[in-house]
Amino acid sequence: MVDVTIIGAGITGSLIAHCLSRYDLKVLVVEKESDVAEGATGANSAMVHSGHDPKPGTLKCRYNLLGNRMYPDLCRELQVRYVPIGAYVAATSQEEEKKLDTLISQCIERNVPYEVLNGDEARKNEPNLSDSVSKVLSLPTTGIIVPWEVTIAAMEEAMLNGTELKLDYEVKSIEKKEDHFLINGEIKTKVIVNCAGAHCDEITGMLRPSPYRVEAKKGEYFVLDHLDGSFVKHVIYPIPTEKGKGVLAVPTVHGNVLLGPNSEFTPDVEDDSTGEGLDFIRSEVAKTVKNIPFHKLIHTFAGLRPHIDLNDFYIQEDDLIEGFIHVAGIESPGLTSAPAIAKDVCENMILPKFKEAKARENYIRRKPFIDMKEMSDEEKEELIRKDPDFGKLICRCEQISMGQIRDVINRKCGARTLKGVKMRCRPGMGRCQGSFCEPDVTNILMEELHKDVKEIRLDRPGSNICAALAKEDL
């Protein structure tokens, strides 16, 4: 019998597993995709909001403020990157300045550090702010992270401490028995945490009529190649509207810049295709920033926000079904909120059910990913001396060695797919988008996983790379 089963290995599910892994509980995470962080966690603005924006009194507001404060320590603990780069919210008209004043008063009420700059002062620090920007709210506690890196690290550490992860495992049925649940007729578990993102209403619907309905909202983004701070140094927000935070310019941890998102409802919760939204982003982002280096465009993507019709997070134990915990509607600021949600769910909703649970002794910490780009030549030298594969460069754009790729495959929660390798150590994230190195990464996956080429996939089942061997169909 499993103590706690978490459905969905996005950032919330993974951080809940991570919190629980400190106790001697039997924890299982099931995920329908072939890797963690494949849903909303894998496609968003990759930032930690300061908490200036959510409506007062909402769960979004509460968890955002708490989560923002938790990130620096959490990232240090997991040995992943957190960069407190700060944000500018830019007003371009008198009307917008008024809305900015509302945000300023929210900062005061919420104890969010801030500073107010006029347009010229702001442009001194951020020369590519558009000329029409007249007033700026500067938010120094805004940070950037790599969402999937946090997720992978949390899951890796949880697994080092006993958590089990089942990938490619879709939940199709849940039955409530006397003192446990039965998932797909085979997994017995005392508690279920529903972290299924865009599918959380379907999961709930397996036990009872769902009190909420997912209305997925698509957000599309542009990715620009490494600009290394030469374009924008802060996250640049426009003034938020009813539709959301608006189209942002976000520097990433790796020196790229994201432009986006738009926000459109989509009828299909699996549809993460890009479309007309990209044209909208192009025109929207030009309102707050200028000299946008669109010639550095290397990628576009879309993510689905698991918005629910209650317009707030829904985080509580079910009022009818004991042991079934909802963590639903985790859209923006969900990434920021995730550590606070995880802590709350773990300490106040799950642990009280397991009074006997003791803290795990000899908790095992994960080792950080090997980032050769950040190393000195001496450090690289030492690494290569131990294993010459670290001297063999596979990805020229991001300068990733064969040793790094082997390392991310051979870990707990290791890469099983091309995308998994890409998320963990970046071959394919650069300006050539993997057109040089992908065949070599495929080879390394085959070697390390002892698989035939026909079994190597981009990500989910069916996304196999090899369609046929040469001449096979002749």
Partner 1 sequence: MEKHELVIVGGGSAGIAAALGAAENGLRDIVVIEREREYGGILQQCIHNGFGLHTFNEELSGPAYAEKYYSLIKNNESIHFLYDSAATEIQGHVVTVQTREGMKKLEGKAIIMSTGCRERPAGAIGLKGNRCEGVYTAGTAQKYLNRKGFLVGKKIFILGSGDIGLIMARRMTLEGAKVIGVAELMPYSNGLARNMKQCLEDFDIPLYLSHTVEAVHGRSRLESITLIEVDNKLKKIPGSEKKIECDCLLLSVGLIPENKLIEDLGVRMDPKTKGAVVDDYYMTSVEGIFACGNALHVHDLVDYVSIEARKAGKAAAAYVQNGKDETETIENIVQNGISYMVPQHFHKGNDIEFMFRVNRVFKECSIHVFGKGLNKIFKKPGIVPSEMQKIALKKEDLAHLEGELFWEVCE
Least Å distance between CB 265 and partner 1? 18
Least Å distance between CB 433 and partner 1? 4
Binder to partner 1 among 399, 411, 412, 449 (CB under 8 A)?
399
Alpha-carbon distance 214 to 450, whole Å? 40
Binder to partner 1 among 106, 130, 401, 404 (CB under 8 A)?
401
49, 199, 234, 326: the catalytic one is 49
Binder to partner 1 among 391, 412, 449, 455 (CB under 8 A)?
391
Q: Which is nearer to partner 1, 310 or 453 (CB)?
A: 453
Binder to partner 1 among 278, 286, 351, 357 (CB under 8 A)?
278
Alpha-carbon distance 45 to 334, whole Å? 11
Strand partners, 220: 302
List the x/- string, 412-431, binding to partner 1 by CB under 8 A: -------------------x
**Catalytic residue check, 199:** no
From residue 117, how far is each of 51, 96, 213, 462 by CA, in Å?
19, 14, 41, 52
Footprint of partner 1 on residues 192-251 (CB under 8 A)? 222-223
| Beta carbons of 154 and 6 less than 8 angstroms apart | no
The piece of 80-88, 141-149, 327-335, 377-385 that touches partner 1 (CB under 8 A) is 377-385
User: What DSSP state is assigned to residue 198?
Assistant: G
Give the tokens for residue 245: 């935070």
Q: Are strands 324-328 and 187-194 parallel, antiparallel or unpaired?
A: parallel
* Run of H or E residues at 328: strand 324-328
Q: Which is nearer to partner 1, 234 or 406 (CB)?
A: 406
Size of the site for partner 1 (CB under 8 A): 59
The piece of 121-129, 181-189, 325-333, 393-401 that touches partner 1 (CB under 8 A) is 393-401
Alpha-carbon distance 465 to 67, whole Å? 39
| Beta carbons of 405 and 439 less than 8 angstroms apart | no
Look at residues 208, 180, 210 and name the one whose alpha carbon lies nearest to residue 192: 180
Beta-carbon contacts of 422 under 8 Å, excluding residues fewer than 6 positions away, are 428, 429, 434, 441
Q: Which is nearer to partner 1, 128 or 274 (CB)?
A: 274
Task: Convert 14-53 to b/e letters by CB count within 10 Å (16 or more is b).
Answer: bbbbbbbbbbebebbbbbbbbbbbbbbbbbbbbbbbbbbb
Q: Which is nearer to partner 1, 167 or 187 (CB)?
A: 167
Footprint of partner 1 on residues 432-451 (CB under 8 A)? 432-436, 438-439, 442-443
| Binding of residue 380 to partner 1 (CB under 8 A) | yes
Footprint of partner 1 on residues 286-315 (CB under 8 A)? 295, 297-301
Q: Which is nearer to partner 1, 271 or 322 (CB)?
A: 271
Binding residues for partner 1, rule: CB under 8 A, are 222-223, 270-276, 278, 295, 297-301, 377, 380-381, 384-385, 388-389, 391-393, 396-397, 399, 401, 431-436, 438-439, 442-443, 453, 457-474
Positions annotated as catalytic residues are: 49
